[in-house]
Amino acid sequence: MKKNIFKLLSFAAIALLGWSCETDYYNEHYLDGYEPNDEITDVQSIEYTLTTADYAAIASNSTNKAIAEAAGEEAVEALNAIKKNGYFASTEEAQTYIKAFVSSKYDYYLSNGSSVAVNYAVAANIPEELQAMKAAADYTLKDEAYAAAGSKVKALTPATIDKLAEIVPNDELKLEAGQYVAVTYNWQDGEASTTEKTAVRKADASNYTSKLGSAVLNEAVSIKGYVSAVCTQGIIVTDNTGSILVYKATGFAVGDEVTVEGTISSYNKGFQLDTTKGAVCTKTGTKADGVTYPTPTVIDGAALDALLGQATDEYAKYVQIMGTVAVSGNYYNFNVEGAAKATGSFYGLSDEQKSQLKDGDKITLYGYFSSISRQSGEPKFINIIVTKIVAGTPAAGDYTSVLGSAKLDDEVEVKGYISATSTQGPILTDNGGSVLLYKTSGYEIGDEVTVKGKLSSYNKGFQIGTAGLEITKTGTMTVTYPAAKELTGADMDALLTSRTEDGYAEYVKMSGKAVVGNYINFEVPGASTAQGSVYGATDAIKAQLTDGMECTLYGYFVSISKSNGEPKFINVIVTSVEPKVVTETYEQRYALLKWNGSAFTMADVTMVQPADYAEMGQASGYFKAPTQETYLPKFLNKTYPYALAEEVKYVVYKLGASDWTVDEYTNDGASWIKNDYIVNENAPFIKAGGEWMFNPNRTIVLNPDKSDFSKKYYQAVIDWVYANKNEKYTYDNRSDSRITDAEYYSGCASGYTNLNWRINTLPKYYWSAAGEDVSAYEKYTSDDVAESKAAYEAFYKEAEKHFAESMAAALGVLHADQKMIEGVETIFTIQMMLYTQHIGSSTGRVTHAFEFKLVDNGKFEYVRMYALEDRFELMKDSNWQ
């Protein structure tokens, strides 16, 4: 025991050899001159151009808001306008508000002495009329207003459009004379019908998003759509491109228009938006035209099994399944014949729905397949959120498949059901096909029957006559019709000649106009000879058809009758009539109106209409800056193909969902040029004493980093030298080519972004070639220190002179807009890396500063140069020791 204690003590002793340390201990202890809380300086000179987002940031900056509020309501409006316009109204305004922006963006890391030169746009001279248009109010015409214009519908029509200016109520808008309003109104292209019709606004569909079906897992989405199914676990929301389960969203009904914000998650192989995990679903309205479902995918047993193998997460799919309800306690499932493994499951069935289902019911259900649940770890349940349950299924196994294959004169024995009735007899259907039971009567649709008879033919159609017919009713069922084959006019014409053999009855549909006389015929557009004939119309069918009625007929095409010896009538035993739904479509339009003090007048402007946005690919129905700059000139070209030069147009458009604005464009003979009245200006701010202030003096640091910023200055000098000086300064005799990224008059090299003042290069190869006398610099290699020094000194003096001249000129080009300010001296300091024999090229930092004074608007004059550190002094003694 003693020994163990000793061991542990020795261990502890070794452990204590170390010492506890503060994070800064090391730095403070070992780094000479280290001050832990010493403010380190980060002095930078930055040139920054405001982006669209920056104007918005300036407008919403709290400091600026306070400034504006203190200045009054007009200033607040002006500040808000900066966001919309993307420019300032005046230079003063810019200098007032940019300061806070610079402070918020740079204050936390730039130190005193830093400068930020902000490039911004000012539109100071905008004509008053244009300004008034830009400030246009926004108004949507109310539904009641259209009647006042004499319109019978809730829209303006070609006959009533002229009344627009009269029906906009200024007592509501309260505009003053000279002010504008942008009006949104409904438009119907054609005069109104007198009958009551369903009104559908075209805009509705385009308001829905097109996100579902393509958004990926973990993508944050904002959906606008409608509720297409509800269950106790949530709702199915559908937009233009897909459907998704919004989990645990409650209190919604089918047909509600909703927005859903959330992140796409997955559960049991189905995508969902989960309200328990932050998704938010909000009702915004009701779908005006009700919910129509897409054509469902029919899932049979094999397909149900196949779904279990689904490997990836999927969106909800609309399906149709036939099966048998299996109730076990509170669980409601359904079995599908032919499915070996998979079981259908009603997902989130309401108690009411449950009460309508009994174990063993045969049903056809429609709904959204949304996920796959497991049993004992294996995928098993196909979860369906139902939209519709139809009782009864054709129990396919019970019927024969005789029809469709039996031949003429065959004695047949059929077990099937009655699928249509007519005064000429019913249609008998089994699993193989359908046939007319000619002149048989007394049966209803849905009667299950066994039939023994002989297959005969009449007018190219098979039928079973009454001769020798044995028919017995065995039960009843619910008929589900197969997908109807559409017969167009052309199809019908073709049938007249192509039908050379007898055929079985076929389920079809035809759209056209009923001709009701002794017979009921049916005209289908596009048919030149053929006509439909409602064969043996029952009273119920007759009651639904009126002469001239436009509708779609569904029924069994049984035979072709002749007229004047030529095939003409396509005989159909009709099962249902679907009247044509006439929808009246309004679209939205915009107009700009001006209040003159007593009345509105239509402004002479070019409005970008909703359809135009769609055509320009702006599905949102508005422009998002700066896309309008690209599209509007093209839009004008298209709208005014014969515009002449100097024609001026005002284009009014939406910038963002709710902001109206207007731009003035002039045609230059070929294209449209925006008159933005905008001038680009520059406001330099410097930080001193912790505060940012407007200061025209600028320090421009040209780091030798080959950055675009540095290159810009070097290149300006090179270009100036090329344009104004002897070409030998930028010309290489040996390669017989012009040097484009350097000039050897003053030594600016944009490739390296440094200033090359090497005595062995500039005079020897370039200055002499340009005719300068370089003899004063030749003895730089002399062993006589005084001689060598004199050569260097003379060379540096000359190089400085050259540089002073060229850089002053280059600054004049780059800062042509720089304005003289009364009573303020403006100095531009350019800091650069100087590369000489003694300094070398490896410093990698700026070594010297050159000062230039602004002497007139955009004109500079050289002042002086100095080294930024002692070691960079050009003529320091140590260079010659």
Partner 1 sequence: MKKLFLLMVGLSFFGLTAVAQTIVSGRVLDENDQPLIGATILVPGTTQGTSTDADGRFMLRTGKGVDAVQVNYLNYKPADFKINASATKQDLGTIKMEPSAIAMQDVVITQSIAVQRKTPVAVATVSAADIEYKLGGQEFPEILKSTPGVYATKDGGGYGDSKINMRGFKSENIAVMVNGVPVNEMEWGGVYWSNWAGLSDVTRSMQTQRGMGASKIAAPSVGGTINIVTNSIDAKKGGSFTYGVGNDGLQQMTLSLSTGLTEKGWAASVLLGKRWGDGYIQGTSFEGYNWFVNISKRINDHHQLSLTAFGAPQKHNQRKPLYAGLSIAEWDKWAKTYMGEKDMYRYNAVYGFDKNGQERSSMVNQYHKPQISLNHQWQIDYKSSLSTALYMSIGRGSGYSGQGRTSADRNNWNGASYGKLLHTFRKADGTFDYGAIQEMNEQSPDGSRMVMSQSNNNHMWYGLLSTYTNQISKSLELSAGVDVRYYVGEHNNKIIDLYNGAYFLDDGDRKNVKPENNIAAADPNWKYEKLGVGDKVYRDYDGHVHQEGLFAQLEWTRKKLNAFVSGSFSNTGYWRVDRFYYDDAHKESEHVNFLGYTAKGGVNWNFTEKSNIFLNVGYISRAPFFSGGAFLQSTTSHATNPDAKNERVFSIEGGYGLRTPTLTLNLNAYYTLWMDKAIVRSSQMSNGDYARVNMTGVDARHMGIELDFRYKPTRWLNVTGMLSVGDWIWTSDARGYVYDSQGQPMTKALDGTVASGIMADDHMYMDVRQKDIHVGGSAQTTAAIGATFFPMKGLRISADWNAYANNYADFYIGGSTSLQNVNVNEPWRIPWGHQLDLSASYSFKIGKVNATLYGNVNNVYNYNYVMDAQCAADATGWQDAYAVMYSFGRTYTLKLKLRF
Interface residue list for partner 1 (CB under 8 A): 3-4, 7-8, 10-11, 14-15, 17-27, 29-34, 36, 38-40, 42, 51-53, 106, 108-109, 218-220, 263, 626-627, 629-630, 706-709, 732, 734-735, 737, 739, 741-742, 752, 758, 760-761, 765, 835, 840-844
Compute CA distances 113 → 120, 687, 693, 867, 871, whole Å. 22, 5, 11, 18, 23
Say if residues 841 and 754 touch (Cβ distance below 8 Å).
Answer: yes
Q: For residues 328 and 735, which CB has a smaller minimum distance to partner 1 in the complex?
A: 735
Q: For residues 710 and 826, which CB has a smaller minimum distance to partner 1 in the complex?
A: 710
Min dist CB 758 to partner 1, Å, is 8
Q: For residues 771 and 840, which CB has a smaller minimum distance to partner 1 in the complex?
A: 840
Say if residues 683 and 826 touch (Cβ distance below 8 Å).
Answer: no
Of 578, 559, 459, 429, give the one whose Cα is nearest residue 510: 578
- The letter for the amino acid at 751 is G
**Phi-psi map region of 171: left, alpha, beta (phi>0 left; psi -120 to 50 alpha):** alpha
What DSSP assignment string belongs to 525-538? TT-SS-EEEETT--
Q: For residues 113 and 404, which CB has a smaller minimum distance to partner 1 in the complex?
A: 113
Those residues whose C-beta lies under 8 Å from the C-beta of residue 614, and which sit 6 or more positions away, are 206, 621
Q: For residues 22 and 825, which CB has a smaller minimum distance to partner 1 in the complex?
A: 22
Q: Which two tokens stand for residue 370?
A: 């949304």
Distance of CA 271 to the CA centre of its chain: 21
Q: For residues 46 and 679, which CB has a smaller minimum distance to partner 1 in the complex?
A: 46
Say if residues 184 and 590 touch (Cβ distance below 8 Å).
Answer: yes
Say if residues 203 and 588 touch (Cβ distance below 8 Å).
Answer: yes
Of 203, 202, 287, 208, give the one whose Cα is nearest residue 585: 202
Q: For residues 87 and 399, which CB has a smaller minimum distance to partner 1 in the complex?
A: 87
Min dist CB 639 to partner 1, Å, is 22
Size of the chain, expressed as the number of residues it contains: 881
Min dist CB 821 to partner 1, Å, is 30
How are beta strands 220-231 and 234-238 bridged, if at all?
antiparallel
Min dist CB 21 to partner 1, Å, is 4
Q: For residues 61 and 160, which CB has a smaller minimum distance to partner 1 in the complex?
A: 61
Min dist CB 15 to partner 1, Å, is 6
Min dist CB 162 to partner 1, Å, is 40
CA-angle at 415, arms to 411 and 417, nearest 5°: 120
Min dist CB 19 to partner 1, Å, is 6
Min dist CB 313 to partner 1, Å, is 18
Q: For residues 31 and 205, which CB has a smaller minimum distance to partner 1 in the complex?
A: 31
Q: Please name the helix (run of DSSP H) or strand (run of DSSP E) that holds residue 9, with its range, or none.
A: helix 2-15
Torsion over CA: 359, 364, 367, 371 (sign):
positive
Tokens 């936390």 sit at which residue?
108
Q: Which two tokens stand for residue 731?
A: 């010309």
Min dist CB 4 to partner 1, Å, is 5
Say if residues 264 and 216 touch (Cβ distance below 8 Å).
Answer: yes
Q: For residues 29 and 358, which CB has a smaller minimum distance to partner 1 in the complex?
A: 29
Question: Can you state the percent helix, strand and coil of the chain, rounding each to 5?
Answer: 25, 35, 40
Min dist CB 631 to partner 1, Å, is 11
Distance of CA 244 to the CA centre of its chain: 19
Min dist CB 114 to partner 1, Å, is 12
Q: For residues 35 and 189, which CB has a smaller minimum distance to partner 1 in the complex?
A: 35
Burial of 378 (0-12, 13-18, 19+ CB in 10 A): exposed
Min dist CB 710 to partner 1, Å, is 10
Those residues whose C-beta lies under 8 Å from the C-beta of residue 290, and which sit 6 or more positions away, are 255
Q: For residues 42 and 856, which CB has a smaller minimum distance to partner 1 in the complex?
A: 42
